[in-house]
Amino acid sequence: MIACRPEELLIDVLAGMLEGMGHVAVGAASPIPGAAALLARERSGGRMRISVLGSERHNPFTDGNVELFDCAAQGRIDVFFLGGGQIDGQANINLVGVGGYPASRVRWPGSFGSAYLYFLIPRVILFREEHTRRVLVPKVEFNSAPGTSPANVHRPGGPYGLVTGRCVFKFERERSRFRLRSVHPGHTVDEVLANTGFEFDLPEAVCETPPPSPETLALIRGPVSVAIAETYPRFAADVLAIEVDAVESPILISAFILDIQDVGVRIRPAVKANAAAGIMGDRPGSRRIISRPYPDVEDAINRGEKTDFRAIGAQLHHGFVWVTKQDVPWNERRAVVLTHVFILSFPYEPSIVRG
């Protein structure tokens, strides 16, 4: 048996819950669910549709969460993932904070659209790696999204299960309770009981979560790891141990923008969306002038270093262009990027024009 990493086990477990689904959506800051969706798509032979928020290659949406919410309301998303700073035994989640709301001692990012999606998407999988009484509590301090609703409330969506770093729970909606389904290798039922703050149903015999097969590990360490690196390069490098520099993924470049006709890059629509002239400032079709180059970026380019410009991009946000490598040699990219730059909206994937 081939040894697997804990994250690879979780990816396989989550992917198994996606089998047979038509459209799986993954929110922000979710590398393991994102990798699970990519694995499930590989297993489906490409038939499954996935939408990974933050990805340019694996997300058909062009207007961020607006289209995600619209699709959910129309019943066009089958599965979504939610987490929580706190999760209780009725599958309620807390994404706001603890320690006395509204003056909470600890604040988290906030509920955002969690309740909306929880009510609409038929299969919502709760996922949290940390399995402690701090996270899995008897009752959430703030209910960002309720796991169940009264019988007179129309609710097509709701929780399907809970996956943690120790085990898998199945949620039984009729009883509004979790039932322990399996315990991961290296963990025990007693350990799960000791680290879970809420009550749950315990069957007479609890099986061990099966490890990924060699074929599954080959997919995770092959096409799935390459695909997830586009959105989560650090996760791919640190956890899945792949060479991120070898991945065909966006890089950041910077210089002055002149006339659009002079820019050495051609816009190729990646999806049917706005017109191909979608160079953007705040909206597709508008332009933004860049007043100065960014020295750190240009110095690295001049030295020919394969610097991870994505880290700089996270700080600058706008005022640069993302260009896909597409097997263009590094020195050819330098010759282009030291000349011009423009900003692309998400529906477009740029290609460097040679000659």
Query: What pLDDT digit, counting tens, does each position of 269-284 carry?
Result: 222 222 222 222 333 3
Confidence at 63, pLDDT banded by 50, 70, 90:
confident
Top-confidence residue, 54 or 300 = 54
| Overall fold of domain 6-238 | Glutaconate Coenzyme A-transferase (3.40.1080)
pLDDT score for 248: 41
pLDDT score for 337: 32
Break the chain into its structural domains and give their ranges: 6-238, 249-352
Q: Is the pTM of this model over 0.75?
A: no
- Number of Cβ within 10 Å of residue 95's Cβ equals 21
Confidence at 244, pLDDT banded by 50, 70, 90:
low
Report the percentage of the chain scoring pLDDT > 70.
68
- Number of Cβ within 10 Å of residue 145's Cβ equals 24
Report the percentage of the chain scoring pLDDT > 90.
59
pLDDT score for 185: 97
pLDDT tens by residue, 197-215 = 999 999 999 999 999 999 9
Top-confidence residue, 108 or 256 = 108
In contact, 98 and 104? CB cutoff 8 Å? yes
The three-class DSSP label of residue 94 is strand
Q: Which has the minimum average pLDDT: 26-35, 66-75, 280-289?
A: 280-289
pLDDT tens by residue, 108-138 = 989 989 999 999 999 999 999 999 999 999 9
pLDDT score for 242: 80
**Which is it for strands 123-128 and 159-164: parallel, antiparallel or unpaired?**
parallel
Q: How many CA atoms lie within 13 A of 178 on its CB side?
A: 30
pLDDT score for 125: 98
pLDDT score for 209: 98
In contact, 247 and 236? CB cutoff 8 Å? yes
d(CA 302, CA 286): 30
Q: How is 274-328 classified by DSSP, letter by letter?
A: S-TT-BBSSSBT------S--HHHHHHHHTT----HHHHHHHH-SSSEEEE-TT-
Average pLDDT over residues 12-38: 97
- Number of Cβ within 10 Å of residue 182's Cβ equals 17
Top-confidence residue, 337 or 91 = 91
322 DSSP β-pair partners: 252
d(CA 214, CA 117): 35
